[in-house]
Structure 1
Amino acid sequence: MRMFKYTNLLIIGKNILDIQVPQCCNLRKFSNAYDLDLKLNGISLNNYVRSIQNEYFNICKGNSENKDNSWSFITPVGRLLEERDKVIQNLNNLTELLNENDKDLKSMALEEKIQWEENINNIDNQLISTLLPFDENEHNSMVLEVNSGVGGQEAMLFAKEIFNMYCNFIHYKGWQLEIADYQETDLGGIRHASALVDGNSVFKFFKHETGVHRVQRTPATEKSGRIHTSTVTVVALPQPTDIEIKINPKDLKIETKRATGAGGQHVNTTDSAVRISHIPTGIVVECQVDRSQIKNRKIAMAKLNALLYEKELNNQTADTEAARKSQVKSNFRNEKIRTYNFNQDRITDHRLQGVNINNLKGFLLGGEQLEDLIETLDYNNKVNKLLDIVQNFNKQS
């Protein structure tokens, strides 16, 4: 399991619970010296692990009623516990050698003991990694949107910097990017920009960027040196996968018009811009980034598909949205998630306590620093979900 420099969540200790292991599948009762003690943020996972271990025992015996549904999750945990037990048996077998008077034998036994204890620590780390919930929404396609918020022209300038940061990050990851909309201002900022992104688990990364990004800096036009605060909103919409979206052509109102803004004489004098209205939901999408009306229509339909998917996803998860505090849901976009303070050369992500990142200009290049922060956010999010599961389990048991 990769551990990131912004994260300090995993604590492995000893001697809390003596897990009772069923006598099946080579499972044995653990030695007291190496009792399993898994903790996350000070919360013990042992009772939860014990229940998984007992279910693994039932599966081995053929007593589980939900073998098909449980096997994929329980088996890795059960097998890691089996492996851990074998390591402990090897440690126990070293007892006599550790008491030998022969210094060479005793030295070799001590070296072997250290190796086996490292193996236990590695297995415990693997157990934590295996217990972390799998994200079902790690889609390979999405629509990314960046919108300027409060702050006028300064917000629009910052929106362009954020959008460029994400474009650089997409190229850094080797994903495919297609600009769907780009509304530039006279001063070089953007009111709105959107893109279609394809790549391995792209939504896993960008769902943690969804929300309000705040910038604090002194604009170049500010003569008195005052610090201005502006905001930008980022939205990531997963492209449909398991949820089937059916669009009836009769429900669409498709209009063409001349494109506005920068783009050249040909773009501005032909009806290449496309506007699609989905009558049942009232959702409207536009695209005017290409000279080809056919390509603009294709991109607009992709955006509409993504918006309808998000609407259906929110409908399906409405009952659990508040409890799970998902970072993907639409209400999360109204929350301030990150502050970029140019005067102090500092980035603060408000979802991670005590995490401040320096080298702001380097961060905005959209490379390794952004990747490390997003992966830390993803790990932290999974830890919080696991702790919710464990706490609910402890309440019910």
Structure 2
Amino acid sequence: MFDRLEDLLIRFEEIMGELGEPTVTNNQERFRALMKEQSDLTPLVEAYREYKKSRQDIEDSLAMLEEESDEDMREMLKEELNASKKRVEELEERLKILLLPKDPNDDKNVIVEIRAGAGGDEAALFAAQMYRLYVHYAESQRWKVETMNVDEIGIGGMKEVNFMITGSGAYSKLKYESGVHRVQRVPETESGGRIHTSTITVAVMPEVEDVDVVIDDKDIRIDVMRASGNGGQCVNTTDSAVRLTHYPTGIVVYSQTEKSQLQNKAKAFALLRAKLYDIEQQKQHDAEAELRRSQIGTGDRSEKIRTYNFPQGRVTDHRIKLTLYKIDDIMNGDIVELLDSLIAADQSMKLAKLNEN
């Protein structure tokens, strides 16, 4: 591990040297690649430098202890020594986590699909609430949200909604949201006060480029039509909506949120590419069953991952057995504690797997 860290430290210094040259911006592609590599390596290099300093502090404290006879000074040196030893242990764990293989999709934007499941109108209302939850969370991260398609019902619910979140590291945080979300509450339409259980499914897919997923023209049917539902005069009176049908998989995607047919077509193709890529990812995970079991957030789409219990004011994530009693904050987009806990649990499981090998 430390040989690798030394190599990465040397590489980091090479990058910093190259970035310091006056001609570095002449080649913008090279400049961007160096900036990204520097950004990726910075947390690791900073932790490794602090680790080396703490190791040196231990050696210095031990050397001074051998020569020091004053008891008060010896006590102070022992305290410093213990603090340095503790810090070294913490940094070793952090370095192991930073050296874990990175998900190649972590830096990508995401396309999120929310579908109402069991529960009729109540499920559609919850789907709309979850859409707003993710929009508020994205805004708190200074990410951009673009709605691609939405199938609304008259009472403010959504049978289905697709949207893109653009922001650095969006997939690394939101990939843990894929799965079945269950809500338990008394619907407004329920006169008897009985608690109903409804479900929605959330799929979080990385945005992929043309080079990642190649779509053959002969496999696609493109239909254009007038948009339906809520929309401005221009949206509903021109053939701007686009529907794509992918024959090999039977996937149908629809985009109608833009006034321009070209913009809707681009959004529809982005959604289709994400869905096709997601299918391939799922196949790989099924083939690597052991890997899937050792990670959080890469499991089956049908897995029940979380319950939102409104009468008790609690949200429970079943994968890590975490319950938080702040449902109002969470529904307003405050999911940082949930996501941080899932990331920490995922890293711990990967580390444990690594140590087994």
Q: TM-score range by the shorter chain?
A: 0.7 to 0.9
Cα deviation for residue 365 of structure 1 reads 0.8
C-alpha distance in 2 between matches for 1:311 and 1:335: 16
Cα deviation for residue 316 of structure 1 reads 4.4
Where structure 1 has 5 or more consecutive residues not aligned to the other structure, the ranges are: 1-51, 60-71
C-alpha distance in 2 between matches for 1:58 and 1:274: 53
3-state DSSP of counterpart to 1:344: coil
Indicate the residue corresponding to 1:186 in structure 2.
Answer: 154
Cα deviation for residue 318 of structure 1 reads 4.1
Where structure 2 has 5 or more consecutive residues not aligned to the other structure, the ranges are: 8-40
Indicate the residue corresponding to 1:209 in structure 2.
Answer: 177
Indicate the residue corresponding to 2:324 in structure 1.
Answer: 357
C-alpha distance in 2 between matches for 1:58 and 1:168: 41
Cα deviation for residue 85 of structure 1 reads 4.6
Q: Partner amino acid for 1:372?
A: E
Relative to structure 1, the CA distance from residue 380 to residue 129 in structure 2 (aligned partners, 3 Å threshold; closer, same or farther) is same
Indicate the residue corresponding to 1:37 in structure 2.
Answer: none
Indicate the residue corresponding to 2:111 in structure 1.
Answer: 143
Task: Give CA-to-partner distance per residue, 1:159-211, whole Å, 9 cap, x none.
Answer: 11111000011111001111001111011110001111111110011111111
Task: Give CA-to-partner distance per residue, 1:202-231, whole Å, 9 cap, x none.
Answer: 001111111111111111221211111111
Q: Partner amino acid for 1:177?
A: V
* Residue 293 (1) aligns with residue 261 (2): yes
Q: Partner amino acid for 1:376?
A: S
Cα deviation for residue 252 of structure 1 reads 2.1
C-alpha distance in 2 between matches for 1:196 and 1:147: 15
C-alpha distance in 2 between matches for 1:129 and 1:110: 29
Q: Judge conservation of contact 1:214–1:230 (CA < 8 Å) in 2.
A: yes
Task: Give CA-to-partner distance per residue, 1:26-45, whole Å, 9 cap, x none.
Answer: xxxxxxxxxxxxxxxxxxxx
Q: Partner amino acid for 2:66?
A: E
Bigger Rg, structure 1 or 2: 1
Indicate the residue corresponding to 1:89 in structure 2.
Answer: 59
Q: TM-score, normalised by structure 2?
A: 0.80
Q: Partner amino acid for 1:288?
A: Q
Q: 1:375 aligns with which of 319, 340, 344?
A: 340
Relative to structure 1, the CA distance from residue 56 to residue 180 in structure 2 (aligned partners, 3 Å threshold; closer, same or farther) is closer
Task: Give CA-to-partner distance per residue, 1:321-370, whole Å, 9 cap, x none.
Answer: 443334444x52211111111101111111223x2211211111113xx1
C-alpha distance in 1 between matches for 2:135 and 2:4: 45
Relative to structure 1, the CA distance from residue 95 to residue 176 in structure 2 (aligned partners, 3 Å threshold; closer, same or farther) is same
Cα RMSD (Å) of the superposition? 2.7
Indicate the residue corresponding to 1:110 in structure 2.
Answer: 75
Relative to structure 1, the CA distance from residue 56 to residue 366 in structure 2 (aligned partners, 3 Å threshold; closer, same or farther) is closer
3-state DSSP of counterpart to 1:250: helix
Higher helix share: 2
C-alpha distance in 2 between matches for 1:78 and 1:265: 59
Indicate the residue corresponding to 2:229 in structure 1.
Answer: 261
3-state DSSP of counterpart to 2:193: coil
Q: Partner amino acid for 1:216?
A: Q
Which one is further off, 129-138 or 314-323? Answer: 314-323
Indicate the residue corresponding to 1:339 in structure 2.
Answer: 307
Indicate the residue corresponding to 2:333 in structure 1.
Answer: 366
Q: TM-score, normalised by structure 1?
A: 0.73
**Total equivalences in the alignment:** 317
C-alpha distance in 2 between matches for 1:242 and 1:372: 35
C-alpha distance in 1 between matches for 2:76 and 2:86: 16
